Each structure stands twice: as C-alpha cells, then as structure tokens.
Amino acid sequence: MSNNYLTLSDRENEFTFEKDIAESNPATYLGESIRGIAEWIEEIKTVDCLFYAKRLSGNDTGATKSHQAGIYFPNKVMADVFPEIDRIDVHNPDHLFKAKVDSHSLPEQELRVIYYNGKPRGDGTRNEKRITRWKETAENTPLQDSNNTGALVLFAFLKQQKEKNSEYLKIWVCNNLEEEAYAELILGEVIPGSGVFGEPLSIFGGFQLPNGKLQNPNLLPSYWKEVFPSGQDILNFLFEKYSFLDLTPDERLIKRRTKEFDLFKTIENIHSMPLINNGFDNIEDFIAIANSITNRRKSRSGKSLEIHLDKIFTEEGLVNFSSQCVTENNKKPDFIFPSHKAYHDKDFPEHKLRMLAVKTTCKDRWRQLLNEAHRIKNPFLFTLQEGVSVNQYKEMKHEGVTLVIPEPIRKTFPEEIRGELFNLAEFIEQTKSLQL
C-alpha cells in the first residue's frame, strides 16, 4: 500500500482514507459507506464510455412540477452521446436505449432520447433534446424523487463507435455525503447548475478541465504563468478587474462566481496542459500530477463562496459581522451578525443576533448548522442548490432554518415555498435594519 493520504472533511462528517491509484482495488481499504461507489467508478474506468456528472435540480426531479420530461443534459453532452439524432431532415428523431441505476439495484429499463427539432426545421418552437420514460419501467427511480434534489449523479454512456449513438447507460445516484465526497475528491467540486463531461481516463485521472470559458492569458498577471496563484489571489484579481457593481447583489454573486471559474480554468490550462501533453514516464508521475490537480481544485473551492459573500456584504454596507468565530463546543459558524463580541455578550439582545451558514449544496448538510450558535434559534442558510423538495423544506422550517438563495435560481424551487425564501439582497437589507 502506498502512502498517498487524502483527507475529506465536512465539519462534523469527517473521515479519512488511503487512495492507491496504482493498485486500484478500493474494496480492500475503503469503508462500507463508499465501497459501492468506489467499485462502480473503478469499473467505469475500464469501459468505453462518455461520462457526465451533475447535481439534480428541482426541475430534474419534478420538485417544481414544471412538467419537463426528465433530466436536463447540455447540448454538448447529448450531441456527443447521441450524434445520430442530431439532424433536421426527420421530424423529432429519437433513439431507444437501455439503462440501469446501479446505485439502487433497479431493474434494467428502456429509455428514449428525442430531439425536438421544430424550431430549426421551421415547423415548431422547440429546439432541445430530452431523455424520457424514466418512470415508465422504474416508478421508484431515485432520479425522479423530489427528495433527491441536489444529489450528485454520475452517468456513464457506453459507446462502441464514436459516431454512433450510445446503446447503454449506467447510473450512480449518490446515497450519502460520504459517497458525494469520494466522487468530488476525484472529479473536483460539482457546482449546482454545471457538470463534468468527458472520457473517463481524463476525468478520473484528474485532467479534465472544469467548465468555463478560457480568458485571454495576456490579461492575467505575468507571474501567474510561472507560479499558480492562491484562491485568494484569484479572487482579489477578480474583485479588482470585474467589479459588476452595477448589478444587484444576487446577480453580482452569480456573475462573479462564473468569472472566477473562467479565470481558474484559464490558469489551470496554462499550468496543466503542457504537463499532460508531454505524457508520463511512469505511474508515479501520473499519480503525483493527478493528485496535485485534484487537491488544488478542492483547496480553491473550499472558501470561495464565503469570500464572495464577505465582499458583497461590505460593498452593500453590511460591515458589522464576524466570520468563522468560535461559539459553543468550539463550533465556527460562517457568519455571525453583528459581531463575535456581541454574540458572547450576555447582555446583547438575542433578537438582534443573526447567523448565516454557507453551503454550496444543502440536501444532507443543512442539519450541521443547527448547533453552531446556541443563542440563535432561527439561523439562516445560504445555498446555491437548485431547489429542495417540499418535505425537505418543511423539515428545515420546523427547525427554524430560513433559506437564502440567489434570486436567479428561485424558479428552481417548488412554487408553494418560493415566497418564503430570502434572496441575498433581502437578507442584507433586513440584517442591516437590525443593526440600526
């Protein structure tokens, strides 16, 4: 066994494991909670397929009751996986293929991919590709369970020939936080609303570049070409060059996050592509580079969202707050308003205290914030997750948790709860009013 130790940590959900890519036999050293997904990934590495990972949105699972036909896949994915239906000489071309949800041991089912091509043909309004029939032969599929909104899902489209349609789809819907953490250790962070797509060797080797548009490298600081900048350096450059101060706080956050990923992809392209293109002399070099890329991505994503919010709070005049201050049992809430000092002042009115937890996804993570600040009975939770089920929302509400979301993703939440959600601008203004 090699000594490549990688540690995953999610506040109160911490576990450590050894990962040995060279031996590639996870069943011998991984815990039961992640053995299934580890073995599944090891199998996918060996087959000829195209791989796609994404987080399920409320529209995907049916939580919003939007009547969309199943799960959304980007045009790039559909065009590469099903190239033979990418045509307009036939009205709404389709293709039938087999699929199996391995994570839940469901029976094999038959799905249909269809290209609604009325708009490019000039005889309709639609121009989209959809995979349908998810529930026709698997009524209890986890992919159409609203309680799985926010879950990380891995898709492996098996292909025999490059220009032919995929004939089989293998699926893994992550069952718990440990499975998601294991997958993201390999894939990098999978952000709601985005995905990871490509060939398994590139993706699972850590060499698949994240989604985003490459920027002009000549606009970046020259020394970044020699030394990979820290996440804070990238954000400082972003805030200076791309302020977006004319946008609302909600729009500004989304725009800056998108631009941050574009910048990171550009920098990683500068540093990583020469190494990849040169090839590797041995497996040890391959492992070292792959681990370096993956760890760098995890390090960058860890505090990014909190730093974005910190910056916007200050820009909007919400300057009285403390981040990562210590509360009971050595807990460290992401943000306490108006300050750490006020929280520990027993004479300070509790109704003027406010806590905001920050989690990119909240499906199984939201309970972690309940005991982070005992004096605050009604904490707030900021998330980028595209929707929650009504049942999940009721659980949060029962525990006193209020969701804060960027306004552009409000439509991904069930209609009956949208009016109870705070957007970022509303949270800022109400919190400022408490400090008057």
Active-site amino acid positions: 343
Strand partners, 402: 380
Residue with tokens 């708009």: 119
- Interhelix angle 249-278/424-434, nearest 10 degrees: 120
434 contact partners, CB below 8 Å, separation of at least 6: 337, 338, 351, 352, 354
With a CB cutoff of 8 Å and minimum separation 6, the contacts of 169 are 97, 98, 99, 100, 111, 155, 156, 157, 158
Q: Bridge-partner residues for 383, per DSSP?
A: 359
Can you tell me the distance from the alpha carbon of 57 to that of 64, in angstroms, rounded to the nearest whole number? Answer: 9
Backbone angles phi, psi at 140, to 5 degrees: -100, 25
> Residue 210: which of 199, 229, 195, 232 has the closest Cα?
195
Q: Which structure tokens are listed for 221?
A: 């600081």
Q: Which residue has the tokens 């592509």?
A: 273
Contacts of 4 (CB under 8 A, 6+ apart): 18, 19, 20, 21, 287, 291
Give the count of beta carbons closer than 10 Å to the beta carbon of residue 413: 25
How far is the C-alpha of 410 from the C-alpha of 393, rounded, in Å? 14
Beta strands in 266-350 (DSSP E): 322-323, 335-337
Q: Where are the alpha helices (DSSP H) in 100-176?
A: 118-121
For residue 137, the surrounding DSSP H or E stretch is none
